[in-house]
Amino acid sequence: MICDEVFLTGATGFIGGHVLDALLEAGYSVRALVRSPGVLRARGAVVEVVGDVTRSGELVDAMSGCRLLVHCAALYSFSPADRARVHATNAAGTAAILEAARIAGVERAVVTSSSATVGPARDGRPATEEDHADEHGDSAYHDSKIAAERAALAARVPTVLVLPTAPVGARDLKPTPTGTALLTFLRGHVVASVDGGLNVVAVRDVAAAHVAALERGEPRRRYLVGGENLSFDQLWTRLGSVSGRRPPRHRMPHAAALLASIVDEARCRVVRDAKPVVPLEGVRMARHHMYVESRRAADELGVRPSSVDLALEDAVRWFRDSGYIAA
């Protein structure tokens, strides 16, 4: 029997975990895809399904009976060693899970994309959903999200795309590259800022947008979900004000940051399982102003940004309470 039960991927991730909260608060029952049993805290309206989006054909039976799919699962990594897995999970995995959903009888899907698919601000104008970034090989992650979007737009299940910017808030467990940047600052390791900027959004707003897209989004339509456009100087100042740490007072030329990232990239290629300290993909992004306009989500989904400062406070508090930084 078909019911308003949601099949959710990525429920153990940063965005996906908050989407799970939002779905339950909205009254949905959820079947949550996990890699290992018992990783989600016990809740009456959640059923764990053990599996992997890269083997989506095995998930058809588990999806049967769900009318709705929310696909948040993705591998967000700037590590050279992860690049093949990034494509397999994000691009091929998205195409596969949507085809499995079609076979299972799912009627509507929401896919988590990324603001990276619209590219940076152009001539001082923030990017909108009408903009499209080009695949250029500089970022395996961003190129994989562009390919995933194309798969979602071509899917035979009506699919709505949610494009978050840089989410911040509590429970960034791994953490994401954005969370890693915050932690680097909070640990006192950001000694200089760089030109450029990004849009920062509360992760709870991103979760609310997924539920709204599920209920009111137009299929095959992209919805940017952002908060505030901030230069890196402004971000460090905001983060400093909520954490008590002094923001950097010096500016590093992009060429110097790029050189450091190239050296770090070489180290990661030589040292097995090494994680980048100065990720090359991140440095290449940092030379841009990744600013967006998210009016469509406000007008059509009713999602309006909440306070970025409060989201940064949530992130700092959670990192401290969880032992990532000293209290």
Q: What is the pLDDT of residues 253-304, one digit of tens each?
A: 666 665 666 666 677 777 777 777 666 566 566 667 899 999 999 999 999 9
Closest CA to 253 of 189, 198, 197, 193: 193
In CATH terms, the fold of domain 3-169+203-226+292-306 is Rossmann fold (3.40.50)
Asked whether the predicted pLDDT for residue 140 surpasses 90, the reply is no
3-state secondary structure of 63: helix
Cβ atoms within 10 A of the Cβ of 42, count?
A: 7
The alpha carbon of 42 is separated from its chain's Cα centroid by a whole number of angstroms, namely 25
Contact between 109 and 98 under an 8 Å Cβ cutoff? The reply is yes
Asked whether the predicted pLDDT for residue 94 surpasses 90, the reply is yes
If you average pLDDT over residues 105-114, what whole number do you get? 97
188: exposed, middle or buried (Cβ count in 10 Å: 0-12, 13-18, 19+): exposed
If you average pLDDT over residues 163-191, what whole number do you get? 92
3-state secondary structure of 277: coil
Alpha helices in 59-176 (DSSP H): 60-63, 83-87, 93-104, 140-154
Average pLDDT, the chain: 89
